[in-house]
Amino acid sequence: MTYTPRDIAGLVAVITGATSGIGKETARLLVSLGCKVVINARGKDRLEELVQELGSDNTAYVAGDCADPAVARQISHLALEKFGKIDIVIPNAGIGMYGSILDYSDDQISQMLRTNIDSTIHIIRAALPAMIESGFGDIVIVASVAGFQSAANQAVYSGTKHAQVGIAAALDRELREKGVRVALICPAGVATEFAMGTGRTAGMEKLATYLKPEDVAHQIVHILQQPKTVRTFIWTLWSMNQQS
């Protein structure tokens, strides 16, 4: 018997951190499969470029910091206003700063906590009522393998990723009976703009050994294409050249 993935054409997705890397490639892939997407990031110019690429019939955007509850609600309101529903939420916004816990300013540390933890919570809070009302939906939180294994010089970053793991685990238990699935996708290093200038440098040779953002995007889609009778939770990814 042939196993047929779930057809996700026509579903509406909200993606944060969508102007580069994993978020951008996920938006591209979902639209190619017939989904509608509402994208968010801080940079308006990049958002407009992606909407132009993917088409305004398929895509809409809200520029701003989704760690702000008002911005998160604006994103969800736009999805409902333009596309009529929210089926998928992908909290992907995140930043990394590698180094000693003493290496960065108070403001930089607060920004990492806010971007990685607060934005995850608030975009889910904003979108979830519509998903619960419909009895249908998927939340795919983009975290990191750092949420399970902490390395030296990653104390704050790893702490934020451990927080995402805890958030996802509780939500999985809370929302399953309401028809909303929760999955946690945890890649190792991905060759993106992530942490440039705060632990990575452009052109560093190690980046060539990392996962590609397309690898993670395809895994997110694979999760979404599972039949609704199936629920999986933790997905970890490494390239063939990375140590697990």
State mean pLDDT over 145-167.
93
State mean pLDDT over 177-203.
81
State mean pLDDT over 201-213.
80
| Tens digits of residue pLDDT in 92-144 | 999 988 889 999 999 999 999 999 999 999 999 999 999 999 999 999 999 99
Q: Which residues are catalytic?
A: 157
pLDDT above 90 (res 197): no
User: Tokens 């403001």 sit at which residue?
Assistant: 107
Whole-prediction pTM value?
0.94
* DSSP H or E segment with residue 224: helix 213-224
Token reading at 63:
């520029």
CATH class of 12-237: alpha beta
Distance in angstroms (rounded) separating the CA atoms of residues 183 and 127: 16
| Tens digits of residue pLDDT in 22-59 | 999 999 999 999 999 999 999 999 999 999 999 999 99
Token reading at 170:
């509780």
Say what the pLDDT of residue 63 is: 98
CA angle 72, 73, 78 (to 5 degrees): 100
